[in-house]
Amino acid sequence: MWTTMLAYLILFMGFITFLGGAFGALMLIFEEVAKTERVPFRYYAMMVGLISGGLGMIGIGKRLPTAAAIFA
């Protein structure tokens, strides 16, 4: 029971992290199109880190109940 709730919480936070990274990348693209200056690549690296972290959390959240059923 607690493992399932923890899995759903991790899954939800993964989606929030992924969406935050995608929104940030979208804002950086719009900022670069609107201005003549280029946005530094380190900002894109932060957005890629958020997106990949969110995908990793989604994967952990999806497999946690399976692992708990196997090892319990």
Q: pLDDT of 41-66, one tens digit each? A: 898 999 999 999 999 999 999 998 88
- Give the domain range for residue 13: 2-71
Q: pLDDT of 11-36, one tens digit each? A: 999 999 999 999 999 998 888 888 76
Place of tokens 């059923």: 69
pLDDT of residue 20: 95
Tokens at residue 40, please?
């530094």
Instruction: Please count the structural domains in the chain.
Output: 1
User: Are the C-beta atoms of residues 39 and 32 closer than 8 Å to each other?
Assistant: yes
User: Are the C-beta atoms of residues 45 and 19 closer than 8 Å to each other?
Assistant: no
